[in-house]
Structure 1
Amino acid sequence: MATVIAYLYASGINLRQCRGNVSHELLFSDSDELFYKVGEKKYLFIFQYGMVAFFGHSESEILATFKSLETAAKNRYETPFFDTISMSLNSSDDKVAFNHVSLKDADEEAIRLVMLNASQSVALERYAEVTEEMLGSTQQHTQYLEKRKARYRWKQAETIYR
């Protein structure tokens, strides 16, 4: 059994700079993401929007990777948001359950897709949290404006009837 761990590490990561900092075998890249093979059944997925996903890494390897990404990261989070998904490789059939995926044929592309989904899940959780904060702030501001408008109308009425 292996584990995918996805972290929202920073608000953004400079991928060009990452290419210079990460010395592993690059399997896939585009303008938004870098996918590396780190070793036998170990993968690293870096996204421009600040996500970093690991497959088969130890905690010390994850910390070392974060250290190497420090200069490429923009606005790092003190406590990164994260999620884990356990994976069973070479199982009898493909199954997806809550926080667990079983793959019959565990090739690099299948692992990459699980890592991508885990990363998007963490990002969506963070954006949902930000949206809730913004809605609360908007509601407070709306209530303030409504009270102020009511006072303004009352003053107008007093002026007219005097």
Structure 2
Amino acid sequence: MLKVVSFQIADSIDIKQFKTAFTAEIYHEDSDELFYRMATQKFIYVFKYGIVCFLGYNEVESTAFIQVITPYCRNMQEERLNDEFDIETNANRYKLGYNKIELESADVESFRLIMLNVSQSVALDHYSQQTNILLEETNYHTQILEKKGKLDLSGINLKKYIGRTLNLKNRIAENLYIFDSPEETWEDENLNRLDIGLKKTFDLQSRFRTIQEGLGIVKENLELFKDLLQYRNSIVLEWIIIILIFVEVINLFIEKIFR
């Protein structure tokens, strides 16, 4: 029995720099990921969106590798999201379950495809967690608006809030490719069947849509908050203009009296 374990260790990994420093055998690479074959049934998959996935590694070995890659990570996660998946090879027939797959035979591409989908699932957990935090903040501010009839957000805090939302949306957009099927599945019927089955098992598309819907709700509220803030600022500006006009009138009045 082989075990796949995937960890969200950081917001991102500089895989270009890591590739230069880590000189193990690379089986597959592109600008977004590195797939290392360390032994016959031992593999490491590194993704630029902060995920490292292991196959055939125990906890001590995976921890040691994470320490090696840490200098190339940005914003390390204190609480690492992870997911596990078991692989049984030389099975009597192909069978895909909730957290286990049985394969009649397995090659490197099958292992890579399984590790890819497990890692995608962890990435979605991470983005879902971040989206829920934004939704909770949004709900808090809308409740304040309902109770007090006004926002408790200053212009600077609103800009920071908008920045966090846009940053998350951009990171998800950058990694949309993770939901595309690898080119190898286009030409191999067995790999294509495996990829489709894994995507259904991990419910990747549905979970991604949920994240998009959550971010859409946040965006709508941000537009409302921005409009309310602009209205509040315009009211303040109007009062400033009124006061300035009033001061000017008083000055003219005083000049006439003492002329």
Category of TM-score, reference length = shorter chain: 0.7 to 0.9
| Larger relative helix fraction | 2
- What per-residue deviation string (whole Å, max 9, x for no partner) do you get for residues 107-155 of structure 1? 00000010011111111112222222211110111121233337xxxxx
**Is contact 1:21-1:69 (8 Å) kept?**
no
Matches within 5 A, 1:29-40: 29-40=29-40
The residue aligned with 2:103 is 103
Where relative contact order (Cα < 8 A, 6+ residues apart) is larger, the structure is: 1
Of residues 90-99 and 108-117 in structure 1, the stretch that sits farther from structure 2 once superposed is: 90-99
The residue aligned with 1:129 is 129
**Is contact 2:11-2:75 (8 Å) kept?**
yes
**Is contact 1:26-1:35 (8 Å) kept?**
yes
Q: Which runs of 5+ in 2 are unaligned?
A: 151-259
Q: TM-score, normalised by structure 1?
A: 0.88
Q: Is residue 73 of structure 2 the alignment partner of residue 73 of structure 1?
A: yes
The residue type paired with residue 68 of structure 2 is S
Point out 4+ residue stretches in structure 1 off by more than 4 angstroms. none
- What per-residue deviation string (whole Å, max 9, x for no partner) do you get for residues 63-95 of structure 1? 121111011111111231111101101212221
RMSD over equivalenced CA pairs, Å:
1.3
> Which secondary structure state, in structure 2, belongs to the residue aligned with residue 111 of structure 1?
helix
Q: Distance in 1 between matches of 2:64 and 2:112?
A: 21
How far residue 53 of structure 1 moved from its aligned partner, in angstroms, is 0.3
> Which secondary structure state, in structure 2, belongs to the residue aligned with residue 117 of structure 1?
helix
Q: Distance in 2 between matches of 1:61 and 1:107?
A: 23
Q: TM-score, normalised by structure 2?
A: 0.56
Q: Distance in 2 between matches of 1:63 and 1:21?
A: 18
Of residues 44-53 and 82-91 in structure 1, the stretch that sits farther from structure 2 once superposed is: 82-91
Please tell me whether Structure 1 or Structure 2 has the larger radius of gyration of its CA atoms.
2
**Is contact 1:7-1:53 (8 Å) kept?**
yes
Of residues 4-13 and 119-128 in structure 1, the stretch that sits farther from structure 2 once superposed is: 119-128
| Larger relative strand fraction | 1
Q: Which runs of 5+ in 1 are unaligned?
A: 151-162
The residue type paired with residue 137 of structure 1 is E
Matches within 5 A, 1:38-117: 38-117=38-117
Q: Distance in 2 between matches of 1:94 and 1:23?
A: 35
> Which secondary structure state, in structure 2, belongs to the residue aligned with residue 23 of structure 1?
coil
